[in-house]
């Protein structure tokens, strides 16, 4: 994965959808590759568990800096300000 996009801007964020069987790979070799390339933020999404882990690169290692599950809300500043909820939309009626 290149660290710059086709337009030449620097890649600042990577997200991965996790499955139970692949989770070990998402937190192992792939993290090392992204860290070597200096990608400062890594988000791991587990749709089945309705969980999002937000990690930041610190001293060459990804550290979980926040997580959100179910209907909770998480606010982050990096790699961009965001307010995140995994709540399922509810239909009125």
Mean pLDDT (whole number) for 21-27: 52
Distance (Å, rounded) from C-alpha 83 to C-alpha 60?
26
pLDDT tens digits, residue range 26-55? 567 788 888 888 888 888 888 888 888 999
Going along the chain from its start, the domains and CATH numbers come out as 13-85 (3.90.1570.10)
Identify the CA nearest to 35 among candidates 5, 4, 14: 14
Residue 20 pLDDT grade (very low, low, confident, very high; cuts 50, 70, 90): low
Largest Cα separation within the chain, whole Å, is 51
| pLDDT at residue 65, rounded to an integer | 93
Mean pLDDT over the full length of the chain: 77
User: DSSP code of 87?
Assistant: P
Distance (Å, rounded) from C-alpha 84 to C-alpha 43?
12
Residue 68 pLDDT grade (very low, low, confident, very high; cuts 50, 70, 90): very high
């Amino acid at each position: 994965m290149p660290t710059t996009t086709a337009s030449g801007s620097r890649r600042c964020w990577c997200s991965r959808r996790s499955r139970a069987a692949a989770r070990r790979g998402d937190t192992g070799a792939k993290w090392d590759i992204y860290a070597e390339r200096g990608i400062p933020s890594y988000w791991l999404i587990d749709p089945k568990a309705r969980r999002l882990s937000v990690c930041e690169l610190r001293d060459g290692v990804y550290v979980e800096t926040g997580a959100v599950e179910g209907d909770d809300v998480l606010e982050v500043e990096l790699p961009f300000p965001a307010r995140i909820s995994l709540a399922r939309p509810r239909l009125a009626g």
